[in-house]
Amino acid sequence: MGRLLPITARSLRDSWRGLLAWALGLTAALALYLPLFPSFGSNGSLEEIIATLPPELVDALGYDQIGTGSGYAQATFFGLIGFALIVIATTAWGASAIGGAEENGRLELDLAHGIGRVSYVLENALAILLKLVVFGIVIGVVVGILNGPAELGLEASGIIAAIAALAGLGALSAAAALLAGAITGRRIAGVAAGAGIAVYGYALQAVANQSEDLRWVERLSPYSWAYSEAPLESGFAWGIAAVWGVAILFTGAAALALRSRDVTG
Amino acid sequence: MTPAIELNDLRKQYGRRTALHGLTLSVTPGTVFGLIGPNGAGKTTTLRMLVDIIRPTSGTARVLGTDPRTGGAALRRRIGYVPGEFRMEGRATGRRLLDFYTSVSGPVSPGRIDHLAERLSCDLSRPVRTLSKGNKQKLGLIQAFMHEPPLLILDEPTSGLDPLMQREFLGLVHEARQNGQTVLLSSHVLSEIQQAADEVAVLSQGRIVAAGAVDELRLGAVRRIRAVLTDADPNAVRGVLAPLSTSTPPEVRAQDDRVIVHATLEGEIDPLVKALARFHVAELLIEEPDLEESVLRLYGSASTDTPTAMGGE
């Protein structure tokens, strides 16, 4: 009865403007940062500047490898601005999908219709996943175009692995936001959870980079799971799969949480 | 015949607060059942449990023969539901909203949405967020009625509608009944229930305080009277009014050359009219008290443990 995946379809149709804006933002960030690499990344001038910074700051920001094309792309886009943009976008989507819908009354009406609660969560998660795929394609195409002119020397397998890692971190924040929204019915709880897990992972990774004695801390950081094996340089690593795995777990938990409680709005 | 809705000792507790103390009622298929009560009486809680938005703490519910907890999406496709507070936001137009609900709860016969929109004069081309409360409520009605479900559950369906649209709504309910659909509607407006419903249950503080056929409940029997008489002596007026069944002694006072009467009357209106007719009546106002007042007056405080059964079978 009815169309296939109606919730996913509605979510995509209602948010294509936002998706387009975010994609343009990601493209602009890539187009601003990557072409600068030849002018001060590869010739060492950026490394000179960085040498004047406190080493703790450099370690925290992951700027130690900035002299290579992959290190530069990682430190500027994948590890920092791209990460921030994607986490903000997916957190907002995840938080509004259930917590936001419950607050504005849409969830009550939706669930009074012929929609199951588990499929409600899963279809919303699928919509976010599809939007992440769009982001991944946009990033892949733009990085692919800039790779030659910006003298980054990136391999296709590295680009794909880094996109999978970045999208995984986005999916993790989205799933945490979905889960918190499904438990509490509050959008703000979703925002806190999605942003919280991103900040937590980033901060722990920064701490772990401070000294070899603290290196173990990175095992607790999803950000480190995604990036510590330098995916742009060395391709796929199991840590990336682990990030996606936790995102899937959170999504499943969100479905169970929503199924088992009263919707109040 | 299996009742369209059958609730047995349904209870709902929110933490330590009890919203519903063991509700038992049965709705015959093809009838219109009204649930009335003041705000906070437990009407919304009850209706939400029927569509599995919230779950009972104990007791059982059967909706169209199925437990809403296990009936899932398939059961809810057979129900049209208007939530108590129909809020809708977003850039999507009314038509897109309805198309979406058609895709999850349809099918909807062709032309049905436009027909309903026309009757309720609802503009479907405007973004939902720009609509007034009344127009949002119309969308709420359309999404509930459009797929002609066997059961309609309507929580305060006329809130925000102007009187003309309220009448149109009563027409929709009437037609639904003629089509054999069952309607359960809640309201805190007594006259609305009296016009629409066959049977009624009065809810107060989470309990049914009265239930039965609408005419037999005599909820409308309590009326507030205000009369202004000229050429009258206050004592004579008091004497004439004394035999009438008023809940408290009528208040009669003289002001200049007029006598002003305030009274709350129970029962028939005729003796009062005849009594007043002996004087020159300059003004006469007879009004229905609000529901809370009439419910409490007729059925005492809500602490009664056993509901007063009136009428019914």
How do residues B17-68 score in pLDDT, each as one tens digit? 899 999 999 999 999 999 988 888 899 999 999 999 999 999 999 999 999 9
Neighbours of B1 (CB within 10 A): 6
Q: Which two tokens stand for residue A127?
A: 């919509």
pLDDT, tens digit, 9 for 90 and up, residues A70-123 = 999 999 999 999 999 999 999 999 999 999 999 989 999 999 999 999 999 999
Containing structural domain, residue A224: 6-259
In this structure, is the dihedral angle defined by the CA atoms of residues B156, B94, A174 and A250, taken in order, positive or negative? positive
Least confident stretch, A214-223, B218-227, B268-277: B218-227
Least confident stretch, A83-92, B113-122, B213-222, B292-301: B292-301
Nearest alpha carbon to residue B214 among B35, B52, B10, B20 = B35
Mean residue pLDDT across chain B: 86
Instruction: Assess whether pLDDT exceeds 60 at residue B302.
Output: no
Antiparallel, parallel or unpaired: β B222-230 and B207-213? unpaired
Residues A154 and A73: beta-carbon distance below 8 Å: yes
CB-CB neighbors (< 8 A) of B53 in chain A: 108, 111-112, 262-263
Residue B297: what pLDDT?
65
CB-CB neighbors (< 8 A) of B102 in chain A: 2
Place of tokens 């020159």: B280
User: What's the CA gap between A104 and A187, in Å, rounded?
Assistant: 10
Instruction: Assess whether pLDDT exceeds 50 at residue B120.
Output: yes
B53 has a chain A CB within 8 A of its CB: yes
A130 vs B40, more confident: A130
- Sheet with B32-36: list strands edge to edge: B79-82, B151-155, B182-187, B32-36, B199-204, B207-213, B308-309
* pTM of the complete model: 0.86
User: What's the CA gap between A201 and A193, in Å, rounded?
Assistant: 12
Q: How far is CA A2 from CA A6, A15, B115, in A?
A: 8, 21, 21
Angstroms from B58 CA to nearest CA on chain A? 14
Residue B188: what pLDDT?
77
Torsion of CA A83, A84, A86, A91, to 10 degrees: 130
Nearest alpha carbon to residue A224 among A244, A234, A209 = A209
Residue A60: what pLDDT?
77
Terminal Cα distance for chain A, rounded: 28
Residue A90: what pLDDT?
98
Residue B53: what pLDDT?
95
Residue A62: what pLDDT?
75
User: What's the CA gap between A94 and A181, in Å, rounded?
Assistant: 8
Instruction: Assess whether pLDDT exceeds 60 at residue A1.
Output: no
Instruction: Assess whether pLDDT exceeds 50 at residue B309.
Output: no
Give domain status of residue A168, yes or no. Answer: yes
CB-CB neighbors (< 8 A) of B85 in chain A: 105, 265
Residue A42: what pLDDT?
64
Give domain status of residue A264, yes or no. Answer: no
Mean residue pLDDT across chain A: 92
**B195 exposed, middle or buried (CB, 10 Å; 0-12, 13-18, 19+)?**
middle
B129 has a chain A CB within 8 A of its CB: no
Give domain status of residue A87, yes or no. Answer: yes
A264 has a chain B CB within 8 A of its CB: yes
Instruction: Assess whether pLDDT exceeds 50 at residue B312.
Output: no
User: What's the CA gap between B69 and B52, in Å, rounded?
Assistant: 6
Residue B266: what pLDDT?
77
Reported residue count of chain B is 313
Contact A109 B103 (CB under 8 A): no
B239 has a chain A CB within 8 A of its CB: no
Give domain status of residue A236, yes or no. Answer: yes
pLDDT, tens digit, 9 for 90 and up, residues B222-264 = 778 899 998 888 888 888 888 877 767 788 888 888 899 988 8
**B270 exposed, middle or buried (CB, 10 Å; 0-12, 13-18, 19+)?**
exposed
> What are the structural domains of chain B?
5-217 (3.40.50.300), 220-290 (3.30.70.260)
Look at chain A and report how many structural domains it folds into: 1
Residue B155: what pLDDT?
95
Contact B77 A113 (CB under 8 A): yes
Under the banding of pLDDT at 50, 70 and 90, the label for residue B307 is very low
Instruction: Assess whether pLDDT exceeds 60 at residue B147.
Output: yes
Interface test mutation site (partner A, options B14, B57, B96, B101, max chain A beta carbons within 10 A) = B101
Sequence-ordered alpha helix ranges (H) in chain A:
6-14, 16-33, 45-51, 55-61, 69-73, 82-95, 101-103, 106-112, 117-147, 156-184, 187-208, 222-227, 231-234, 238-259
Buried b / exposed e along A40-62 (16+ C-beta atoms within 10 A) = ebbeeebeeebeeeeeeebbbbb
A118 has a chain B CB within 8 A of its CB: no
A14 has a chain B CB within 8 A of its CB: yes
Residues A87 and A198: beta-carbon distance below 8 Å: yes
**Report for A229-243, B33-47, B274-288: range of highest mean pLDDT:** A229-243
* B2 phi-psi bin (left φ>0, alpha ψ -120 to 50, beta other): beta
Residue B105 sits at φ, ψ, to 5 deg, of -120, 5
CB-CB neighbors (< 8 A) of A11 in chain B: none
The one-character DSSP state at A217 is G
Residue % of chain B over a pLDDT of 70: 90
Give domain status of residue A71, yes or no. Answer: yes
Q: Region A37-47: what's the mean pLDDT? A: 74
Q: Region B87-104: what's the mean pLDDT? A: 90
A10 has a chain B CB within 8 A of its CB: yes
User: What's the CA gap between B51 and B83, in Å, rounded?
Assistant: 10
Of the partner residues A14, A111, A116, the one whose CB lies closest to the CB of residue B53: A111
Interface test mutation site (partner A, options B11, B99, B100, B108, max chain A beta carbons within 10 A) = B100
Contact A6 B104 (CB under 8 A): yes
Residue % of chain A over a pLDDT of 70: 97
B203 vs A63, more confident: B203
Helix, strand, coil content of chain B in percent (nearest 5)? 35, 30, 35
Buried b / exposed e along B4-36 (16+ C-beta atoms within 10 A) = bbbbeebebeeeeebbbbbbebbbbebbbbbbb
Q: Which two tokens stand for residue B268?
A: 């028939």
Under the banding of pLDDT at 50, 70 and 90, the label for residue B306 is very low
Give domain status of residue A265, yes or no. Answer: no
The one-character DSSP state at B152 is E
Residue A119: what pLDDT?
95
Under the banding of pLDDT at 50, 70 and 90, the label for residue B313 is very low
**Report for A41-55, A66-80, B170-184, B269-283: range of highest mean pLDDT:** B170-184
Residue B298: what pLDDT?
63
